[in-house]
Amino acid sequence: MGASRWMEYELETEQARILRLPASEQERLIVELETDQLTGEDVLHRLYVIQPLLLHDRERYETVAERFLEIEGVEQVLALFLYELGERYPMKLALRSASPYLPYGLALRLDEIKKKMSVREQKTSTVQTSTMTERPVAPGTELMHVLRHGNWVEQMRYLTGAEFERTPALMEYITDKYLRAQETAHQSLLVIDQLLGSVLDHLSYPTIIQVPHVDVYWTISSRQDLDEVLLVHQQEQQTLLASMHMLQRMDPFRALLVLRSDQLIHLEEREAIGSDMEKWFAACEELAGLTFEKEETERDLSPLAQQLYRASHILYPEVIAFEQIYFD
């Protein structure tokens, strides 16, 4: 009996063979997928072995792969393709949702990448642990300096890398200055989102949050109102994180950030929409895969997706800074 086509050596041999074929034959292999001439595991195998042919044409590969997302393993094969192009977050999603019954060669490749990523995360964790050992609680004056003068990346990195001392001066600066875009060179809505939980007991009500560069002017009437917003926010994020596999594209982090930031940007619209998660999922599926780099998208979107797209476009520079911290 011959070895399974899903063994590591057989996969590499097949990819090498395909690369040596005439261009017309290579095109035929792709067209067979595009015209539904293959089914089941044949689709998965073909998507895997033709990846080197389309590394220069990401859009075409994504388009053909998305036709078969209901087939087990296709998400992982698409994530591998994007991983070769430097897209790390889709690989994290693929690893979390991978079935234990994937074909051997595919499972082996995913395990190999998982180990590489684990080594990198352990190194990062070791550096952070070492830093925390030297400085378990950072002085509040350091965070205040970063919030006053640091760029978005520096602020986000600081907040994720250390506990900070909640001094009266720091709490006063955050509540009276940073939340109102005063005495800060680079105010960030995403940073405010992270800080809110730390300053709940230090706010006086009614309180105002102003983020001019994203046109946010939010008046919070009472502590109860803020608690309710944050609780709903947390519950929705937990639901979203548990269901991200519902997205139809392999780059969902921007859609998640859209919803995260939308808590502050479109409060009135959110109240009208309510917490019907199916509507949010549907909007996510519309947005997933868009880059948000252009002010207007060429794709027709539903009203909710349009709202989320506008919010994300405004926040795009902050989103990129966020990506550098969490998905680097």
Residue 120: its pLDDT value, please? 46
Residue 129: its pLDDT value, please? 43
Whether 129 is covered by a domain: the verdict is no
Whether 255 is covered by a domain: the verdict is yes
Residue 326: its pLDDT value, please? 56
Residue 302: its pLDDT value, please? 87
One-letter amino acid for residue 189 of the chain:
L
Q: Give the mean pLDDT per block of 10 residues along the chain (328 residues).
A: 81 93 95 94 96 91 90 90 79 78 90 76 44 55 90 83 79 93 90 82 88 82 82 68 51 55 55 65 75 76 81 74 62
Same domain, 45 and 70: yes
Same domain, 18 and 94: yes
Distance (Å, rounded) from C-alpha 263 to C-alpha 214? 13
Whether 1 is covered by a domain: the verdict is no
Same domain, 17 and 116: yes
Residue 212: its pLDDT value, please? 87
Same domain, 253 and 157: no
Which of 172, 195, 217 is the endpoint of a domain?
217
Same domain, 274 and 311: yes
Residue 19: its pLDDT value, please? 93
Closest among 286, 278, 326 to 309, alpha carbons compared: 286
Same domain, 39 and 12: yes
Whether 143 is covered by a domain: the verdict is yes
Strand, coil or helix: 137: strand
Structural domain for 146, as ranges: 135-217
Cα(first)–Cα(last) distance of the chain, in Å?
A: 44
Strand, coil or helix: 22: coil
Whether 128 is covered by a domain: the verdict is no
Same domain, 287 and 211: no
Whether 310 is covered by a domain: the verdict is yes
Same domain, 146 and 207: yes
Which of 188, 217, 246 is the endpoint of a domain?
217
**Sequence-separated (6 or more) residues with CB below 8 Å from residue 60:** 30, 54
Same domain, 203 and 286: no
**Sequence-separated (6 or more) residues with CB below 8 Å from residue 291:** 254
Residue 134: its pLDDT value, please? 46
Cα 117–Cα 123–Cα 129 angle in degrees, nearest 5 = 130
Same domain, 234 and 203: no
CB 32 within 8 A of CB 46: yes
Which of 122, 152, 167 is the endpoint of a domain?
122
User: What pTM was estimated for this model as a whole?
Assistant: 0.54
As for how many domains the chain has, the answer is 3
Residue 192: its pLDDT value, please? 87
CB 44 within 8 A of CB 77: yes
Whether 192 is covered by a domain: the verdict is yes
Distance (Å, rounded) from C-alpha 67 to C-alpha 34? 8
- Would you give the DSSP letter of residue 186? S
Same domain, 204 and 237: no
Same domain, 105 and 21: yes
